[in-house]
Structures are given as structure tokens and as C-alpha cells.
Chains A and B, each alone.
Chain A
């Protein structure tokens, strides 16, 4: 058994997290009498986790370099207000309402503003030597205050009709056919990457996984991806919406209504794409290698000739840009920009990264772990909502789970050493 697991080269910690998630899901499903593991709940769960998951990928890199960013929720709030004002006030003045490019400009502005704020904080941390805890604690107050100043506290709504799709909802889902295409493309890409790596290792004469193990890994990956497609395609649009859509196309609505599936939600696809991108950055580029080297031994990184300061600025810039992207998702989902948007998100984002196995001591962490961590947090919350647990109790449970997760992780690490 142990040998088989070793041949698969699967990360034990990852298996543990998936196991924990399975326990949570099945537990809630039993407690709620089958209301948890439904396509509808899982679909909503994934949409709700998207914004935190996007930011958690960046937080992994921040924590890996032995830093912290407490300002992400406030940066989200501030950039959200900017995004709202840009699409409801500036752009309509320029080219009218519901222009097809409005959402593109809004997203780019959000990413740019977030990135600039993050990079600015990064400069303070890397070049002026102020600790990231303090800079981002200051940022937490400054950008939350800034969010209020953008419109002196007024909520900006509604959002552009195309922009709104970034937040999910029935308009923000891609439907059954495209979901299959995305799923099959992702599975093929994953298989291609696995096989290419295997071929390269064989070419150099390095040890490779036995063929059966390679087959099992590929089968597991494909099953997870296509299973997700089956779930999102099993969640049909509500009947009134289907009726309205058919009426809009001039079709008769007196007979049986067809079942139209949601398919993947756009914010979930954004989060998965961000996860893939940041995973690529962290494992396949010099930037990622330097991030981990700095976390493992800052002095060694410096002595190796790495420009550690610019790496730090880039890490915080990336974190800010991801906050800007999350601001798009959160603002679109709410269909409004409010100065309270993203309040306490910093804690959920940090918790997601930590539950996902990122070590506060630095040097250790994975992107997929943090995204799973975001899913664990959201599963707990949404399960408790289904059970009718009130908000204060939810906070208590999430807090306890965070501490317990880190404790278990500490024991695990001690065992590894």
C-alpha cells in the first residue's frame, strides 16, 4: 500500500485535505438530510468560494516569502468602488450605457489599480524595510477609508450587464455544451503536460513512475474534471427564467419546459484559470523559484545574486492585481460596489492559504492547497447556513477550525522531520 502510494507520487498532504473535504461534505449532507451534496448547492458553493480562492493563490506567495498581507479585503473594497464608478459614471459618459467594451475596461482598470496599490506597498516593504505586517495593517485602514472617499460612502449600482456575468448567476454560466468543451480541453491539457514531463524524464534517463501509476493518475484527474462537468450540468436553470428566455425567442411555453443546464459559472472558471496561472508562475518560472528560495533562506537568495527586493515588489504587486480581479467578481456578484465590500476577506484569504498547507515560517505552500482551503472554508460556512446556524456561531466554528488545522499541520510536519 505504502509502495503503491509512493509510486503514484501523490502528495500525502493533498490526500489528507481531500479526505477532510470529503468528511465535511458527507457530514453536512447527512446532517441536512441530503441538501448539501446537490448540484445546486455545490454550484453555489463554488461561486461563493471563487473570490477568496483567487486572492488565496497570491497570498500563498506572500506567506511563502515570510510576509503577510492584511490589506487584501480593503484593496478589494477600494478597487471595487473604482471599478463601479468607471463603469457607471466615466464610461457611460464616454460611449453610453451597455457598450460591449465597458466590462473589459472595468476589469483592466481593477487589475491595474489593485496591482499598483500592491506594488506600492511592496516598495515600502522591500526598499524602506517596513515590516509587511505594519504596511498592510496600515493599508487595511487606508484603503477601506479610501473606498468610502471614492463616492463619499454612496453605493454604486447597478453594474454593466455584461460585467455582471463575472459574478455568476444564471447569466454568468456558460451552459452545458461549452462546459463539456472546457472540461475535455482541461483534461487533455493535463494529460499532455503529464506525458510531456514523463517523456523528458525518460529522455534524460531519470526514474519515472511505473506505467500503471501514470495511468491511475491520469484516470483520477480526468474523473475529477469530468465529474465537475457532470455536476454543473446537472443544475438546471429555474423554470421562470427558462420560460422568459423562450418567450424572448418567440417560442411557445405552454408545454413541458426543457431542462437547460447552468454549466460552469464564469467566476469559477476565472478562479481555476488564475490557479493554473499562478501554479505555472510558481513552479515553472524563475520568479517562482526565487519566491520559494527567498522563503527558504533570504540570505542565501541574496548571496546567489537574486534581486530579492524586486521579487518582493512583484509578489505584492501580483497580490494587489489579484485583489483587483476578485473585486470584479465580488462587485459583479453583488451587482453593486459598496465601501464595505470585502470586509474581513483578509482573514478568510489567509485562513484559506494556511488551511491549504502554507507555512507561516515561509518557504512552503502550494496554490492548489490554498484553493482547496478556500473551498473547505466556504463548505463549512455554506453547510452551517443550510443547518440554520447563525453568523456568530459560524465565526466561532471557522475560528476553531483554523486553529485546529494549523495544529494538525504542525504535528504532521514534526512527523515528516
Chain B
């Protein structure tokens, strides 16, 4: 079972993140069943699969939203205990959720710093310092953004996305999880997110890219893990497989010769 991960990592040092044999069940249904995936520094790994294949659930285990029933998570080779989102953030794991997970009624700075507020020396919120930092990080992502005083509910889809991304990259993330980061975006904004992914990759951040858009993933990812019915169908370097082969993995669970089969591969 662990061979899937170790074969790929052979000769490439210790992976930044390694999830081994992870399972979780909700009311008797195994949403994630014995899945092993890994991620190296400066690598973009796509997680592919249909709706309900278990991708989002798998990464919610890594981001601390769900505790795994079974399996282990290693960060830099060391066993990690991730029981809450706070734990995950301590390990430098940041997540951009599909729903964005923004508090709609407060402004951009309050969302970026939610749970990690800057305080004055009297222990009160330092809103000015937070707004200044928010202006800096948003300036990098979305230079035309000016609406720092408004609740994020008043912002456009792309602007909200920028706020969610800003929150994830502002705290020296080592691992970034992006769950359908471009689902709500237009073509220009999608390209912007793509550029950002490549830039972060250059900075040595490991990125899990969850998407059902295979073209997105082929453009950005180095490797893909494909899931079906909660199980890992297989893993492959993007250069070793074609889009059609990966589609076959997603739809039929059929593992092509260029990929390493997982427990979910159909015979």
C-alpha cells in the first residue's frame, strides 16, 4: 500500500507531506479508503476525480477539518498530529477552500487575519497594522483592489477569491491546498491564479491542486493523483500520461502503463 508513495519519492528526498493509508467514514460510507498521497517542496500535485470521489474530504483531513479514522500524516518525514485547523496551520499547511470560507460580514483584513489577529501592546486588535499588511498582500494579488472598508460580501467573485488566497499565502505557508481555486473565476482571473501557482512553486511551496478541470491540472501540475469512490486509482507524472489516459483513470478507474496503480485501480 505504501509502495505507491515510496516508488515515486525514490531518490527525491523526504516528501514535504506524506499521507499514508488514510481512511475516513461518515455513517458507514467510506468517503476516503486507504489513500496514500505525497507532495514535495516546489511541486504541484493535482488531485483529480469526479464529484464525490473523496478529493475534498481527503484534503480536509490534511487541513484539520476532519480527523482521520485511520492512517498517518508525515510532514518532512515526521509523524504529525493534525486534529484541528489550528494544528494544520502550525505545520504551515494553508487551505483555500472551494467555498472560500470567508466571514462575509467583515472586511478583507479581518478575513485575512481571522484567528491570527495582530494585536497592539495592550492586547487589543491592531486594525491599522492589519489593514496595512492586507493592502500589501492584496496589492500583490489584485493591484486594483481598493475596497478595504467593505464587508467581503460586497466584493466580486474574483475579489473574494483574492482575499481567500491572500489569507493562505500571507503566513509563510509551506503547503498550500487549493480546492477548485478557479471554479468561480473568469478566464483572466484564472490565468492570474495560474501565474500565482507557478510563482509560489518557485518559492519552494508544495501545492495540492484539487480540480475537476483536467486542462487546468495538466497546465500547472507536475504529478497527479486520481481518486474514484474514495480510493486511489493511481498516480502519474503528467509527462508520462496523456489527458485521455487520465480521463480513463477518472471515469473508468483504469490505470494506464505510465501510471503507478493504487488500490482503487480496476483490474
Contacts and interface: CB of A to CB of B under 8 A. Distances in A.
Q: Could you say which interface size class chain B belongs to?
A: 20 to 34
Contacts of B95: 303
B114 A300 contact: yes
B130 to A, nearest CB: 10
A301 B65 CA distance: 11
Contacts of A302: 65, 85
Contacts of B85: 302-305
B101 A300 contact: yes
A201 B149 CA distance: 13
Contacts of B117: 286, 289
A212 interface: no
B125 interface: yes
Given A303-B97, A305-B84, A305-B89, A289 B110 contact: yes
Contact of B114 (A285, A288, A293, A363): A293
A303 B65 contact: yes
A296 B131 CA distance: 20
Given A289-B125, A300-B114, A206 B101 contact: no
A292 B114 CA distance: 11
Nearest to B100: A300
Contact of A200 (B65, B104, B119, B128): B128
Contact of A304 (B105, B114, B119, B124): B114
A414 to B, nearest CB: 14
Nearest to A280: B124
A297 B151 CA distance: 12
B119 A206 contact: no
A292 B115 contact: no
Kindly name the residue among B95, B97, B114, B129 whose own CB sees the greatest number of chain A CB atoms within 10 A: B114
Contacts of A285: 123-125
A305 B110 CA distance: 14
A278 to B, nearest CB: 14
A295 interface: yes
Interface of B: 63-65, 84-86, 89, 95, 97, 99-106, 110, 114-117, 119, 123-125, 128-129, 131-132, 151
16 contacts: A203-B128, A204-B132, A283-B125, A284-B124, A286-B125, A289-B106, A292-B103, A297-B101, A299-B99, A300-B102, A303-B63, A303-B97, A304-B85, A305-B85, A305-B89, A306-B114
Interface of A: 200-201, 203-204, 206, 283-286, 288-289, 292-293, 295-297, 299-306, 363-364
